Amino acid sequence: MSGEALSSRPVASCWLSIIGIGEDGRSGLAPAAAAALDAARVVYGGRRHFALAGPLAAETRPWPSPIHEAYPAILARRGEPTGILATGDPFHYGIGAEIARLIPPAEIRTFPQPSAFSLACARLGWPLAECGLVTLHGRALARIVPYLQPGARLLVLSWDGSTPAALAVLLTERGFGASTLTVLEAMGGPRERIRAARAEGFDIGAIDPLNTVAITVAGAGRALTLAPGLDDALFENDGQLTKAEIRALTLAALRPHPGLHLWDIGAGAGSVAIEWMLRHPSLRATAIEARPERAARIRRNAEALGTPDLAVVTGAAPDALVGLPEPDAIFIGGGVSEPGVLPAALAALKPGGRCVANAVTLEGEAALLTVFAAQGGSLRRFSVDRASPVGGLHGWRPAMPVTQWAWTKP
C-alpha cells in the first residue's frame, strides 16, 4: 500500500484500536486515545491494564494463556469497534507487531505511549540511539551475552522481579562485576522507584515485577568480539570444530542478511550456527548433528555464547532434514561425502539461497568437485599455518587444507 493510500484511509475503516497505557493510567491518555477506548464495545488486555484504564464501559476480555488463543476471536470481530490495551508502545516488544501480522494496518489505529526504554533514558539522561536494547521478557537470560561489551549501556526489559539479581550474577560470573545496574520500577506512576547497585554484591531486594534494568558494563570481562572467527577455546568441543580462521571465511561465504534461517549440517560443536546467529538478532539457525553427545555440547555452547534460541536436531542427514523449516542458507561442515546429503540439502534450499560446504578429506573433496562440475558456483582451497613450539624455538605447523564450495541457488 502506498504512503498516500495509508494517509488518506478513512478513520471509520479502523475498527481495531491498540491503545498504549502507562502507570499513570487513564489520566495519561491523549483525548483521541481515551475516545477510542470509550468507543470500543470489547477491550482485550491484561487485568493490570483494565485497572489502569478504568472505569470501562466495554466488555473486558483478559488475555488467555497462551495469548494467541485470543486472535481468532479478535479477527471474528472485524468491522466492530474493538480495543486492545498494551503497556507503553505496543510496537516496541509489544502486542502490536503480532496483531499487525494478522490484520492489515489500514484497519488499525494505534495510540502509543513512551516505551519503557524511552522512559528509562529520560530518567537517566541516556541517548536512546546509543543504547543496546534487550528484552528478557519470556526469553532466556543468555540472550544478553552478546551485548556485554566494555563501556556499553544496555536497557533490559525484565521478566519479573527476579531478573535484576539474575543479571547481576551473570555479569559477575563473566568478569563484569564492576558494572552498575539501575533498576527502574513502575515508571510513570505513583509507585515509581529507581535504585542502583554494582553487579558484584548486588543487594537490591523487593523489586516490583514491572521493572526495567539499565546496565553500564564495566570490568575486564569475557566479551565476545564483534568480528566473526571467535577464539576456538570459547567452544567446548571434541576436535570436531570449524577452526576460527576457516569459520570467519565460511561466514563471509554464507553472506548473512537479517531474518535468514541457516541449516548447519554435521554441526559438530555448533560454531558456525552460533556465529551466524551472533551477526544479527533476527538471524535463526538449526544445527543438525548425528551424535547425541555432540548435540548436547552444541546446546551448552549456544547457551554460553548468547544464542540460546539455536534449534538443535539430533539425527543424521539426509533423513534428519525432513520436516525442518525451509532454509535460506545451508552450511555443510560434516558428512558432505555421505550419500544423499548434498542432493537433499540443495533440494531443500530456497531459490536465491546460499549453500557453503567444507571438506578436509579426499572423499569430501571429490563430492565437492562433482557438485561444482554439475552446478557451478565457486571452489576455493584454504591452508592455515600456525606457529607452535619446536624445542625452545618456534616453527610453522600446517593445519589440514580445507576445500570450500559456495553456490547460490538460481
Question: How much is the CA Rg of the chain, to the nearest whole Å?
Answer: 26
At 57-105, the pLDDT tens digits run 999 999 999 999 999 999 999 999 999 999 999 999 999 999 999 999 9
Residue 107 reports pLDDT greater than 70: yes
Q: 3-113, what's its fold?
A: Cobalt-precorrin-4 Transmethylase; domain 1 (3.40.1010)
Residue 2 reports pLDDT greater than 50: no
> What is the CATH number assigned to the segment(s) 117-216?
3.30.950.10
* pLDDT at position 205: 95
One-character DSSP codes across 297-321: HHHHHHHHTT-TT-EEEES-TTGGG
Q: 232-408, what's its fold?
A: Rossmann fold (3.40.50)
> What's the CA gap between 107 and 100, in Å, rounded?
9
- Going from N- to C-terminal start, the domains of the chain cover 3-113, 117-216, 232-408
How does residue 188 score in pLDDT terms, banded at 50, 70 and 90?
Answer: very high
- Average pLDDT in the 339-358 region? 97
At 225-283, the pLDDT tens digits run 999 999 999 999 999 999 999 999 999 999 999 999 999 999 999 999 999 999 999 99
Residue 1 reports pLDDT greater than 80: no
* pLDDT at position 13: 83
Work out the number of other CB atoms within 10 angstroms of the CB of residue 235.
24
Dihedral sign computed on CA atoms, order 134, 136, 139, 145: positive
* pLDDT at position 388: 94
Strands in 238-335 per DSSP E: 261-265, 284-289, 311-314, 329-332
